[in-house]
Amino acid sequence: MIWWLLIAPMLAAAYLFLIAPNLRRRFRPKAQGLCRAFAHRGLHGAGVPENSLAAFQLAAEKGYGVELDVRLTRDQRLVVLHDADIGRMTDGQGLVGDLTLKETQAHHLLGTQERIPSFDEALAVLAPHKTPLIVELKSAPGTGSSMPQMVLERLRKYPGFWCVESFDPRLMRWFKKHAPEVIRGQLAYDARRAGEDGRTILHALGAHLITSLLSRPDFVAYRFDTDRNPSFRLVKSLFRPTLAAWTVTAIQDFKRLLDRYDLLIFEGFEPYNQEKNQEKEKEP
């Protein structure tokens, strides 16, 4: 019993050390006057594919921030695509990491005239509007340190606000080590509460924010409908980090989450379009 009284506080302290965010800096979007609504993969919909230049242009024109995904091609070029394979978004096939930039752009996105944009092309569309950006780095075999370095070089020239995030804590650790001034976020969700099968150890570590040991994030981007996770709740109440909710697909949820999250990554509606919001709210 005495041993337990001695060990329990040590175990609790160790656990808090594992899940703690970056305590040396406080990132407060609202206090900085930052836009809180970020269009998930751009403002996409009918005839406008996700992560396309058209989706980015539309979001920028309407005053939303943009969340986008970056991957690395075989010839070491940055492209904007969520999936590892181009099959879902184009009529082509193949892993992005096995294709060159030219090969990834040889196909149209979802039958439109849009193609998979390079990261440079996306930034060129968004830069004139100084659109706030959340850039998600997608890891893949062979990514190593080359992708975060390349992303950083381009974003340093971007005129608007930007930050980075990833499910892979090793990529965020790179920024922690080599560019600690960059605002970095740890993506996570509770796969069990999401009802997903085939969960891995990495899923479990991420769900309980133990990956923060590597990344020490400035903000935590969590799947909001799985946030009843005890570790997430503990981090939220004890450390009070900046929180980003993903992916909000209903205006009702958006309004409800405004008091619980600092940033909201949305899709399928326009938070600032009252007429469209009223139509959405009437839908069954």
Q: How confident is the model at residue 140 (pLDDT cuts 50, 70, 90)?
A: confident
Both tokens assigned to 177: 């080590």
Q: What is the pLDDT of residues 3-45, one digit of tens each?
A: 666 787 888 899 999 999 999 998 999 888 999 999 999 999 9
pTM as predicted: 0.93
The residue type at 210 = I
Residues annotated as catalytic are 40, 82
The arithmetic mean of pLDDT across residues 156-162, rounded, is 97
Task: Provide CB contacts within 8 A for 92, sequence distance 6+.
Answer: 86, 103, 106, 107
Assign 142 a pLDDT band (cuts: 50, 70, 90): low
164 touches 185 (CB < 8 A): yes
Burial 176-207 (b: 16+ CB within 10 A, else e): beebeebbbbbbbbbbeeeeeeeeeeebebbb
What is the spatial distance between Cα 180 and Cα 255, in angstroms, rounded to a whole number?
A: 33
pLDDT for position 209: 97
Return the percentage of the chain with pLDDT > 70, whole number.
93
